[in-house]
Amino acid sequence: MCICACTNKPYPQSLRVADSLIHNNPDSAVILLEELKRSMAFEPQATQMYYQLLTIKAKDKAYITHTSDSLIKTVVKYYEERKDRERLPETYYYAGRVYRDLGDAPQALEYLQKAIDASSDQNGNYQLKSRIYSQMGYLYLYQDIYDKTPEVFKEAYKYNQLSNDSTGMVYDLRDIGRSFSTLQQTDSAIYYYKQAGYLAKTIKSNHLQSMVNRELSGYYSKLGMYQEAYQALQIAGRDFEAHNRPPYCATTARYYYYTNQLDSAEYYYSQLLSVNSTLHKAGAYQGLANIAQRKGKYKEALLYFKDFLAYSDTLQSITQSETVRKVQALYNYQLKEKENSKLQRQAANYKLWNILLIFSLLSLVFLFIAYHQFRKKKEQQRLVKQERIKHRYAQSNTYLEKNKEQIKVLELSLHKAEIEKDQLQQDLLKAQKSLIEKTNEQITATQRVQKQSELALKHSDIYKKFHFAVQGSDEKIGNDDWKELMCAVDEAYNQFTTRLLELYPMKTIEIQVCVLIKIGLSPAQIAFITIRSRQAISSIRKRLYSKVMGKDGTPEQWDNFISTF
């Protein structure tokens, strides 16, 4: 039975009914809770807070987007102040859901981690734990933090297994496969996709079999495994709901296109034109344009390309807005953390001065202890790390230059078409040139965001500390400083150290040398900080180039590689 913590009074029967409706009939629960809203004003605070939590929960289950965090903040504060071990895990979970809807991924991840910590000493409640880990996985994918996603989804699978939730296990296995596909670990991705399909077949769910195989078919097509893609596609087509038809048509169209069955591909691309989705329409028009071009129907290809460009502009605008929103969320989170640290320092200072005033007549020993405690708190506060900023560098300069070369080739072809007075070919080449130019604009915009991250690194305290250290500063570089610098470089350059270790299992000193190169220190300065000779630093750089590239090279070649990596 649900009991109010403060008054030992049972929750009203109406709230228990609403709670029972949430899982299977969330829309009905939302309506019932809205009807109870006025009567809740006369209930004890414990009942009111439980009502607010149920309201958030019901709207979330009914897929009603959260538009404000004011309500969940009140509920979180209430249960935190009372240290309610029963309600806190679920409250933190829904706080994470709210901040996910608000686009604040760092804040959402923080609350989901709190939910895990709060539930760590609780037995049971496996379904909630599974949902927590699953949501963390989706947020990591959203933030492009791919290396963490497989283990998180495996945790979700473990708890669904403990609760005998076969449907949840199918989704978890699919998510594990999806996460390995983002890491380009093909064998693992296919294995887990197949496991998801086998389990869906075992529990005789045509819907889940269709869902898994639709995604697996698309993955096979990307890998060029068309026979396997066709087999998965046949299973995917057995059962799917209306809202799943667009992905099915898109996957089927791509399969037929890459297997040169152009008429069938054209049919499925055409089906996507009636879908209310910018992404699917853009893909459909691009596919139809390519088919028309391969059939020599240049006039049709031109019209399709123009439609594709229009939808492509919309998609690029959405992508740019989403990128800015991610960066802004991370920036806001940093500001909040700085403000919290400032308030903590102010509170610590205030407490210290009160102690000094009250106990001013105590012995010097007591004063020494108090001062020592103060310094300890200051040191602990200094060691609090900021949330890592994760914004993936979407395109490279190499790709940008390749596009520029392609534009030159198109301009030559366009000039030839003008000489031959082939108007259709001219229009088609102009459309292709415009598309590549717009792609380059998107790449340039992404690189501007990367430059902002680099600027933030150069203004950081740890960056300045290392640069001051080589100028004769009295500050010593310790292990914590190295860790902080590596975290800062990873934040600015898309997990720089992790990606280096994937190329070659480097020693600590080798990683340190690479990080110092990345922040612009010269070989002599690197030798000074690492307490090595210049010859030793040169040998490390030369050896790393040989190990990673598989051929001999110079230290300077390694420096050039690191600067662009």
Q: What is the DSSP string of 317-349?
A: HHHHHHHHHHHHHHHHHHHHHHHHHHHHHHHHH
Is the residue at 342 inside a domain? no
Pair 443, 521 in one domain: no
Alpha helical stretches, state H, 383-522:
397-420, 423-458, 461-469, 479-492, 496-503, 508-518
Tell me which residue of 437, 442, 440, 431 sits closest to 304, measured CA to CA. 431
Identify the CA nearest to 286 among candidates 263, 265, 319, 309: 309
436 and 452 together in one domain: yes
CA distance 372 to 367: 9
Q: Are residues 527 and 539 in the same domain?
A: yes
Q: Could you list the residue range(s) of the whole structural domain that residue 411 is in?
A: 393-459
Q: Choose the final residue of a domain: 433, 459, 485.
A: 459
Amino acid letter, residue 559: D
Q: Residue 322's pLDDT is what? A: 45
pTM exceeds 0.95 for this model = no
Residue 414 lies in a domain: yes
Distance CA 140, CA 161 (A): 22
Q: Are residues 534 and 519 in the same domain?
A: yes
H/E element, 384: none
Q: Is residue 397 part of a domain?
A: yes
| Other CB atoms within 10 A of residue 505 CB | 9
Identify whether residues 425 and 472 lie together within a single domain.
no
Same structural domain for residues 448 and 483?
Answer: no
Question: What is the 8-class DSSP label of residue 10?
Answer: B
Whether residues 553 and 467 share a domain: the answer is: yes
CA 436 to the chain's CA centroid: 27
**Residues 56, 129: Cα–Cα separation, whole Å:** 18
Q: Is 210 left (phi over 0), alpha (psi -120 to 50) or beta?
A: alpha
CA distances from 190 to 72, 163, 176, 255, 335 (A): 40, 26, 10, 17, 42
Q: CA separation (Å) from 310 to 12, 304, 315, 440, 461?
A: 56, 10, 9, 16, 45
- Nearest Cα residue to 67 out of 101, 91, 96: 101
User: Containing H/E element for 547?
Assistant: helix 534-549
Instruction: Write down which residue in 439, 459, 479 finishes a domain.
Output: 459
The tokens describing 421, both together, are 């007075």
* CA distance readout (Å), 513 to 517, 520, 548: 6, 11, 15
* 470 and 546 belong to one structural domain: yes
Closest CA to 110 of 126, 128, 132, 81: 132
Same domain, 469 and 550: yes
Please, what is the end-to-end C-alpha distance for the chain in angstroms? Answer: 59
Q: Which residue type, as a one-letter code, is found at position 446? A: T
| Tens digits of pLDDT across the chain (565 residues) | 344 544 456 788 999 999 999 988 999 999 999 999 999 988 999 999 999 999 999 999 999 999 999 999 999 999 999 999 899 999 999 999 999 999 888 889 999 999 999 988 778 789 999 999 999 999 888 888 889 899 999 999 999 999 999 999 999 999 999 999 999 999 999 999 999 999 999 999 998 998 999 899 889 988 888 889 888 888 887 765 645 677 778 888 888 888 889 998 899 888 888 888 777 788 888 888 889 888 888 888 888 888 888 777 665 654 444 443 444 444 344 444 445 444 455 545 556 556 666 756 665 666 566 556 555 544 443 333 233 323 333 345 667 777 778 878 878 887 777 787 778 777 777 777 777 777 777 777 767 777 887 888 888 888 888 888 888 767 788 889 899 988 988 888 888 888 888 888 899 999 999 989 988 999 998 888 888 999 999 999 999 998 888 889 999 999 988 988 8
Residue 169 lies in a domain: no
- Can you say how many angstroms the Cα of residue 552 is from the centroid of all Cα atoms in its chain? 38
DSSP 565: -
CA dihedral 339, 340, 346, 351 (to 10 degrees): 170
pLDDT at 303: 85
Residue 405 one-letter amino acid: E
Report how far residue 456's alpha carbon sits from residue 245's, in angstroms, rounded to the nearest whole number: 44
Nearest 5°: the CA angle 195, 199, 203 is: 170
Report pLDDT for 338.
46
pLDDT at 522: 92
SS3 content of the chain, % helix, strand, coil (to 5): 80, 0, 20
Is residue 433 assigned to a domain?
Answer: yes
Task: Please indicate, yes or no, whether residues 509 and 544 belong to a single structural domain of this protein.
Answer: yes
- Residue whose token pair is 């296919």: 190
* Within a domain: 278: no
Look at residues 228, 227, 174 and name the one whose alpha carbon lies nearest to residue 200.
174
Interior CA angle at 181 toward 176 and 183, to 5°? 100
Query: Among 335, 562, 326, which residue's Cα sits nearest to residue 449?
Result: 326
Q: Supply 30's token pair.
A: 């939302």
Q: How far is Cα 88 from Cα 49, in angstroms, rounded to an integer?
A: 12
End of a domain among 443, 459, 475?
459
Residue 201 domain-assigned? no
* Residues 410 and 472 occupy one common structural domain: no
Q: Are 453 and 492 in contact (CB under 8 A)?
A: yes
Contact assessment for residue 139 and residue 109, using Cβ atoms and an 8 Å cutoff: yes
- How many domains, in total, are found in the chain? 2
Judge if 529 and 474 occupy the same domain.
yes
